[in-house]
Amino acid sequence: MEIQKPKVSVIIPVFRPGEGISNCIESVLGQSLKDIEIIFIDDCGNDDAMEKVREAAAKDDRIIILTNTENSGSGFSRNRGIEVSHGEYLSFIDADDFINNAFLENLYQKAKSGNFDIVKGKSIFCLENGTLIHPKIDLNAKTERWLQQKKPLYAVFRYEHSTAIYRRQMLIDSNVRYGLSRKSQDDTFLLRATLAAKTFCFTENAYYYYCMRENSTVHRKDIGILKATLDFTHEIFNTIKEKCPTDPYAPQFTVDIIIKFLSCHAYVSKVTGEKDEAGVLLQKFRHEVMALPFANTLIDNHTEIRALAEYGENLSKTPYKFPGEDPSPEQQLDILNRWCIFFIAHPDLDKRYKSALKMVFNNTQKIFGIQTKNLKNEELEAIYASETWKIGNALVQPLHYAKSILLKFLHS
């Protein structure tokens, strides 16, 4: 006799989630949809999180525990969960986040009502003190408008992958898995899943609570973050080349990925002394970009990508010539690394830098629905602790730094 499959498998990689693991466990076990299996993957965090999971497993036989032989990252862990899962649909939750009681039931019922491949709920931010912040910008409504404009799903559903459930058979049939890079594995999965999905919709009253925390990836000061970003872009580019090389939206989607790498490179170049290795990685990235089927279109239409192409040409042929005295090779590499990221021939760069920072701050406020006047301390802390602010700040900081370097070497 065939054993009935659970309606939803919940896959949760565990690596040093802190105290948040307790809320996560409680929220999943307390779901109104009872016919689920819960797969925790121990990613060797060497803390007491898995002890709490094992305590819960002793009381609830819906819990399955997998253990990695070494720390392998959330992408590898989630892929293990996909392989052993039995659910009709799959949900992916971070071990320090949590969901509302009806999250899985509302998503599943909506999925069954129209035989949908993917159904998406909404996210809410949760501060460390427990304060909940509802995003002022309705990402679902915005995405729905874009879909009505006939934009492809992969180009508009690019964030909040944990707010959705996914038909398991679709993922298996299309070999959809998470990326194995140590950075942005979720982005790789979401691109592959949205390219594979034939049907998609939203539902109400399914809330994923994203707990605000320090993002160590943003603050790392070693070259490893740039290597991980290069691995991520390689996975994304291969998927684009295989699945949608002629899609008219693919070039712009790819531009966003390119800028993401170049911004990371600018940040890493500023805070690490390993500039030679950063230059090597940038050259490898250049070759990845040049291998795209629409590389010429990107070069023609985007200053940053044209600069990236010329950067390789200049290094492989003759040293790039600046007005006045030539910088040393080390100085030249340092300048070119930044020049290929930002077109900085603007006399008012300082003003642009301040404007860019202000824009990042204002946009982050909009996401949290916070008013400019009479900001509370916890609201300010939420802004400065948010990934939006950190990434935006890391992106615009090199503008000011690049100008100071150019002025130093061009006008000394």
Task: Report yes or no: 208 and 103 within 8 Å, Cβ to Cβ.
Answer: yes
Distance CA 99, CA 93 (A): 9
Distance CA 66, CA 85 (A): 11
Task: Report yes or no: 155 and 239 within 8 Å, Cβ to Cβ.
Answer: no
pLDDT of 190 higher than 60: yes
Task: Report yes or no: 41 and 66 within 8 Å, Cβ to Cβ.
Answer: yes
For residue 380, name the pLDDT band (cuts at 50, 70, 90): confident
Q: Provide the 3-class DSSP secondary structure of residue 360.
A: helix
Task: Report yes or no: 326 and 412 within 8 Å, Cβ to Cβ.
Answer: no
Among 314, 312, 307, smallest CA distance to 339 is for 307
Q: What is the mean pLDDT of residues 201-208?
A: 94
Q: What are the structural domain ranges in the chain?
A: 8-213, 217-410
Q: Which residue has the higher pLDDT, 28 or 181?
A: 28
303-334 pLDDT, tens digit per residue, is 667 767 765 555 444 333 333 344 454 544 44
Distance CA 20, CA 95 (A): 7
Distance CA 60, CA 169 (A): 26
Task: Report the phi/psi class of residue 198: left, alpha or beta, with left for phi > 0 and alpha for psi in -120 to 50.
Answer: alpha
Half-sphere exposure of 24 (CA within 13 A, CB side): 26
Q: Which residue has the higher pLDDT, 143 or 36?
A: 36
Token pair of 374 as six digits: 């009479």
Half-sphere exposure of 184 (CA within 13 A, CB side): 23
96-111 pLDDT, tens digit per residue, is 999 999 999 999 999 9
240-252 pLDDT, tens digit per residue, is 999 999 999 999 9
Q: What is the mean pLDDT of residues 122-151?
A: 86
The domain over range 8-213 is classified in CATH as 3.90.550.10:
yes
50-82 pLDDT, tens digit per residue, is 999 999 999 999 999 999 999 899 999 999 999
Indicate the pTM of the whole model: 0.78
Token pair of 132 as six digits: 């909940």
The mean pLDDT value of the chain amounts to 81
Q: Provide the 3-class DSSP secondary structure of residue 369.
A: coil
For residue 223, name the pLDDT band (cuts at 50, 70, 90): confident
Other beta carbons within 10 angstroms of residue 101's beta carbon come to: 13
Task: Report yes or no: 190 and 232 within 8 Å, Cβ to Cβ.
Answer: no
Question: Which of 86-90, 190-194, 208-212, 383-387 has the least mean pLDDT?
Answer: 383-387
Distance CA 89, CA 111 (A): 9
Is the Cα torsion angle 299, 300, 302, 303 positive or negative in sign? positive
Query: What's the CA dihedral at 108, 165, 154, 123 to 10 degrees?
Result: 100
Q: Which amino acid is at 305?
A: I
Distance CA 23, CA 260 (A): 32
For residue 372, name the pLDDT band (cuts at 50, 70, 90): low
Distance CA 135, CA 149 (A): 23
Among 280, 212, 291, smallest CA distance to 258 is for 291
**DSSP string of 186-207, one letter each residue:** HHHHHHHHHHH-S-EEEEEEEE
The label of the residue with tokens 């990107």 reads 298
Q: In the prediction, which pLDDT does 270 show?
A: 60
